[in-house]
Amino acid sequence: MRLGTVEGMDVDRAALRRALLATAPWLGATEVGPQAVDAGACDRCGDAPRLLPTCGPDGPGAVCRACADDLGDDGWCEGHRREGRTARAWAADLPDRWAQTVTLWWVATGEVRLDPSSVDVTAWPVEVRRALGRGPAMPADGAPR
Protein backbone atom coordinates (compact mmCIF):
# COMPACT_ATOMS: atom_id res chain seq x y z
CA MET A 1 0.00 0.00 0.00
CA ARG A 2 1.37 3.38 -1.01
CA LEU A 3 0.63 6.24 1.30
CA GLY A 4 0.98 9.87 0.34
CA THR A 5 1.15 12.33 3.17
CA VAL A 6 -1.10 15.28 2.58
CA GLU A 7 -0.98 18.02 5.18
CA GLY A 8 -0.03 15.48 7.79
CA MET A 9 -2.93 13.18 6.93
CA ASP A 10 -2.48 9.79 5.37
CA VAL A 11 -4.18 9.51 2.01
CA ASP A 12 -3.96 6.22 0.16
CA ARG A 13 -3.85 7.73 -3.31
CA ALA A 14 -4.04 4.49 -5.27
CA ALA A 15 -7.05 3.34 -3.26
CA LEU A 16 -8.67 6.75 -3.62
CA ARG A 17 -8.26 6.60 -7.37
CA ARG A 18 -9.82 3.15 -7.55
CA ALA A 19 -12.68 4.12 -5.25
CA LEU A 20 -13.43 7.32 -7.16
CA LEU A 21 -13.43 5.56 -10.52
CA ALA A 22 -15.79 2.93 -9.13
CA THR A 23 -18.27 5.51 -7.85
CA ALA A 24 -17.78 8.08 -10.65
CA PRO A 25 -16.73 6.23 -13.84
CA TRP A 26 -16.95 9.53 -15.77
CA LEU A 27 -13.58 10.41 -14.24
CA GLY A 28 -12.06 7.98 -16.72
CA ALA A 29 -12.78 10.32 -19.66
CA THR A 30 -9.68 11.79 -21.25
CA GLU A 31 -11.14 14.34 -23.72
CA VAL A 32 -13.21 16.03 -21.03
CA GLY A 33 -13.05 16.12 -17.25
CA PRO A 34 -10.14 16.37 -14.84
CA GLN A 35 -7.82 14.27 -17.03
CA ALA A 36 -8.28 16.70 -19.93
CA VAL A 37 -7.27 19.85 -18.06
CA ASP A 38 -4.53 20.96 -15.69
CA ALA A 39 -5.48 20.79 -12.04
CA GLY A 40 -6.74 24.10 -10.72
CA ALA A 41 -9.59 26.56 -10.58
CA CYS A 42 -11.62 27.57 -13.62
CA ASP A 43 -9.79 30.11 -15.78
CA ARG A 44 -12.94 32.19 -16.09
CA CYS A 45 -14.52 32.39 -12.62
CA GLY A 46 -11.52 31.26 -10.57
CA ASP A 47 -13.91 29.49 -8.24
CA ALA A 48 -15.08 26.02 -9.30
CA PRO A 49 -12.57 23.42 -10.51
CA ARG A 50 -11.67 23.23 -14.19
CA LEU A 51 -13.71 20.64 -16.03
CA LEU A 52 -13.65 21.26 -19.77
CA PRO A 53 -10.88 22.44 -22.08
CA THR A 54 -11.94 25.07 -24.62
CA CYS A 55 -10.19 26.30 -27.74
CA GLY A 56 -6.79 27.86 -27.29
CA PRO A 57 -4.57 29.70 -27.07
CA ASP A 58 -6.83 32.76 -27.25
CA GLY A 59 -9.89 30.99 -25.88
CA PRO A 60 -11.24 31.22 -22.34
CA GLY A 61 -8.94 28.43 -21.16
CA ALA A 62 -10.16 25.49 -19.10
CA VAL A 63 -13.52 26.21 -17.53
CA CYS A 64 -15.97 24.85 -14.99
CA ARG A 65 -19.40 23.51 -15.86
CA ALA A 66 -21.28 26.76 -15.19
CA CYS A 67 -18.81 28.83 -17.21
CA ALA A 68 -18.95 26.40 -20.12
CA ASP A 69 -22.73 26.81 -20.09
CA ASP A 70 -22.43 30.60 -19.92
CA LEU A 71 -20.00 30.65 -22.82
CA GLY A 72 -22.08 28.34 -24.95
CA ASP A 73 -20.85 28.18 -28.52
CA ASP A 74 -18.61 31.21 -27.90
CA GLY A 75 -16.28 29.05 -25.85
CA TRP A 76 -15.25 27.10 -28.92
CA CYS A 77 -14.08 28.09 -32.36
CA GLU A 78 -16.31 27.39 -35.33
CA GLY A 79 -14.42 24.22 -36.16
CA HIS A 80 -14.95 22.83 -32.66
CA ARG A 81 -18.53 23.87 -31.97
CA ARG A 82 -19.70 20.30 -32.18
CA GLU A 83 -17.05 19.12 -29.71
CA GLY A 84 -18.02 21.98 -27.42
CA ARG A 85 -21.67 20.96 -27.47
CA THR A 86 -20.78 17.35 -26.81
CA ALA A 87 -18.57 18.41 -23.91
CA ARG A 88 -21.28 20.60 -22.38
CA ALA A 89 -23.88 17.88 -22.73
CA TRP A 90 -21.47 15.49 -21.01
CA ALA A 91 -20.93 17.97 -18.20
CA ALA A 92 -24.66 18.60 -17.80
CA ASP A 93 -25.18 14.94 -16.93
CA LEU A 94 -22.67 14.93 -14.10
CA PRO A 95 -23.95 14.72 -10.52
CA ASP A 96 -23.98 18.00 -8.61
CA ARG A 97 -21.01 16.98 -6.51
CA TRP A 98 -18.85 16.92 -9.65
CA ALA A 99 -16.68 19.71 -8.27
CA GLN A 100 -15.76 17.84 -5.11
CA THR A 101 -15.28 14.67 -7.17
CA VAL A 102 -12.86 16.45 -9.50
CA THR A 103 -10.91 17.89 -6.59
CA LEU A 104 -10.64 14.47 -4.94
CA TRP A 105 -9.46 13.03 -8.25
CA TRP A 106 -6.58 15.50 -8.31
CA VAL A 107 -5.79 14.55 -4.73
CA ALA A 108 -5.66 10.94 -5.91
CA THR A 109 -3.31 11.82 -8.77
CA GLY A 110 -1.14 13.92 -6.48
CA GLU A 111 -1.82 17.16 -8.41
CA VAL A 112 -3.69 18.81 -5.56
CA ARG A 113 -2.97 18.80 -1.87
CA LEU A 114 -5.81 19.25 0.50
CA ASP A 115 -6.56 18.53 4.08
CA PRO A 116 -8.83 15.47 3.98
CA SER A 117 -10.41 16.59 7.24
CA SER A 118 -11.83 19.57 5.33
CA VAL A 119 -13.80 17.27 3.03
CA ASP A 120 -17.39 16.47 3.92
CA VAL A 121 -17.20 12.73 3.41
CA THR A 122 -20.63 11.75 4.68
CA ALA A 123 -22.07 11.18 1.20
CA TRP A 124 -19.12 9.17 -0.08
CA PRO A 125 -18.82 5.39 -0.22
CA VAL A 126 -16.78 3.80 2.51
CA GLU A 127 -13.92 3.02 0.09
CA VAL A 128 -13.45 6.73 -0.61
CA ARG A 129 -13.65 7.64 3.07
CA ARG A 130 -11.17 4.94 3.98
CA ALA A 131 -8.70 6.10 1.32
CA LEU A 132 -8.90 9.58 2.84
CA GLY A 133 -8.21 8.14 6.25
CA ARG A 134 -11.74 9.07 7.28
CA GLY A 135 -13.57 5.75 7.13
CA PRO A 136 -14.25 3.10 9.70
CA ALA A 137 -11.21 0.97 10.32
CA MET A 138 -10.77 -2.11 8.17
CA PRO A 139 -12.08 -5.12 10.10
CA ALA A 140 -9.37 -7.48 11.27
CA ASP A 141 -10.36 -10.18 8.79
CA GLY A 142 -10.23 -7.70 5.91
CA ALA A 143 -13.80 -8.48 4.85
CA PRO A 144 -15.79 -5.57 3.51
CA ARG A 145 -18.58 -4.39 5.77
Which residues make up the interface to Zn ion (CB under 5 A)? 42, 44-45, 55, 64, 67, 77, 80
Beta strand pairing call for 9-11 and 62-63:
unpaired
Of 9 and 39, the one with the shorter C-beta distance to Zn ion is: 39
CB of residue 132 to Zn ion, shortest distance in Å: 25
Of 21 and 77, the one with the shorter C-beta distance to Zn ion is: 77
Of 28 and 56, the one with the shorter C-beta distance to Zn ion is: 56
3-state secondary structure 47-89: CCECCEECCCCCCCCEECHHHHHHHHHHHCCHHHHHHHHHHHH
CB of residue 40 to Zn ion, shortest distance in Å: 11
CB of residue 39 to Zn ion, shortest distance in Å: 15
